[in-house]
Amino acid sequence: MHFIKLRKIWYLISLVIIIPGLISLFTNGLNLGIDFTGGNILEVRFERPVAIEKVRQVMASLGIETSRSIQKSGQEGKKVTYLIRTKALSQEESTRLQKALGKLSQMTVLRNEYVGPIIGRELTRNALLALIGAAILMIIYITIRFEFKQGIAAVIALLHDVLVVTGIFSLFQIEIDSTFIAAILTIVGYSINDTIVIFDRIRENLKVRKKGEELADTINFSLWQTLTRSINTILTIIFVLVALYLLGGSTLRVFVLTLLIGIVCGAYSSICNASPVWFDLKRLEKKEKLV
């Protein structure tokens, strides 16, 4: 298999995954959690089974809108847990709601989160700033250690990963919270890591390149040389993530799922996108010279 000669297929696979996600992002957007929009999440555990309808009735009787969602988040024997999402509640409203719910059955408040709208906007802004800042600094670093075009290729591969993950979250309307940003940045970190390891090999092989050897072949050769490492590394990370997903409890699940998708995607883009894109950028450069 020649990675560079097959690059159009890789691009096609990436596009097939990204385009539906992009369309969904533009039409449906993301299912933003209260960390971004502001609002309330109340998670409670009833000691005896309480029907979701009862919860809804209690909320309606207090005049708290129930449009966002009331969701059964777990059941253990007779105990049921509910996740109640509402608009931002005042402290009085929140206290009244907890008191009223406590009358349905003996109840424990597992968590109660309130996020004001200002904080939410800031979070979104800071996240975008962080991503852009990180991208610029990484391009600068890669330009110093490698070359500018490799920096661009690496960042394109990163953009690919970010688009795939956010696209999937938009398609399935999975709710995202502040840990989603941490997950995206970790994915970016891992993906760039993979890309650099491959670029490093290419850099080394270019130094000892024989006369007449095609750039495409050198890149392909380097990709094959680093392939075992790429696979083994991904495997070890997947071990940890799968363990976290299965045993880590509900609070971590979405976070881990994001990482799982993103890290597999990052490995793919490092092998099948970053170097091929760099190759194409190089070809453009040669064409310019010919003209």
Interactions with other proteins, residue window 191-230 (CB under 8 A): 192-194, 196-197, 199-201, 204, 225-226, 228-229
The size of the interface with other proteins (CB under 8 A), counted in residues, is 72
The answer to whether 255 contacts other proteins (rule: CB under 8 A) is yes
d(CA 284, CA 102): 68
The answer to whether 72 contacts other proteins (rule: CB under 8 A) is no
Stretch 24-53 residues interacting with other proteins (CB under 8 A)? 43, 45
Do 82 and 259 touch, CB atoms closer than 8 A?
no
> Between residues 70 and 182, which has the closer beta carbon with respect to other proteins?
182
DSSP conformational letter for 120 = H
* Nearest alpha carbon to residue 275 among 209, 205, 212: 205
Do 32 and 121 touch, CB atoms closer than 8 A?
no
Do 83 and 46 touch, CB atoms closer than 8 A?
no
Question: 233-252 mask for other proteins (x: CB under 8 A)?
Answer: x-xxx-xxxxxx-xxxx-xx
Q: Nearest distance from residue 210's CB to other proteins, in Å?
A: 17
The answer to whether 152 contacts other proteins (rule: CB under 8 A) is no
> Between residues 39 and 276, which has the closer beta carbon with respect to other proteins?
39
Stretch 112-131 residues interacting with other proteins (CB under 8 A)? 112-116, 118-119, 122-123, 126-127, 129-130
The maximal CA–CA distance of the chain, rounded, in angstroms, is 83
The answer to whether 75 contacts other proteins (rule: CB under 8 A) is no
Q: Nearest distance from residue 68's CB to other proteins, in Å?
A: 18
Task: From residue 29, give the alpha-carbon distance in Å to each of 22, 131, 168, 169, 262.
Answer: 9, 19, 11, 9, 19
Q: State which of residues 14, 24, 86, 94 lies at the interface with other proteins (CB under 8 A).
A: 94
Q: State which of residues 62, 110, 171, 281 lies at the interface with other proteins (CB under 8 A).
A: 110
Q: Nearest distance from residue 189's CB to other proteins, in Å?
A: 4
Per-residue b or e along 167-187, where b marks 16 or more CB atoms closer than 10 Å to that residue's CB:
bbbbeeeebbbbbbbebbbbb
The answer to whether 189 contacts other proteins (rule: CB under 8 A) is yes
Q: Nearest distance from residue 69's CB to other proteins, in Å?
A: 19
Half-sphere exposure of 244 (CA within 13 A, CB side): 16
For the chain, how many residues are written? 291
> Between residues 71 and 108, which has the closer beta carbon with respect to other proteins?
108
Q: Nearest distance from residue 175's CB to other proteins, in Å?
A: 16
> Between residues 24 and 255, which has the closer beta carbon with respect to other proteins?
255
Q: Nearest distance from residue 254's CB to other proteins, in Å?
A: 12
Task: From residue 202, give the alpha-carbon distance in Å to each of 21, 42, 87, 196, 205.
Answer: 32, 52, 53, 10, 5
> Between residues 69 and 193, which has the closer beta carbon with respect to other proteins?
193
d(CA 188, CA 164): 12
In sequence order, what are the residues at sequence separation of 6 or more whose Cβ sits closer than 8 angstroms to the Cβ of residue 248?
Answer: 256
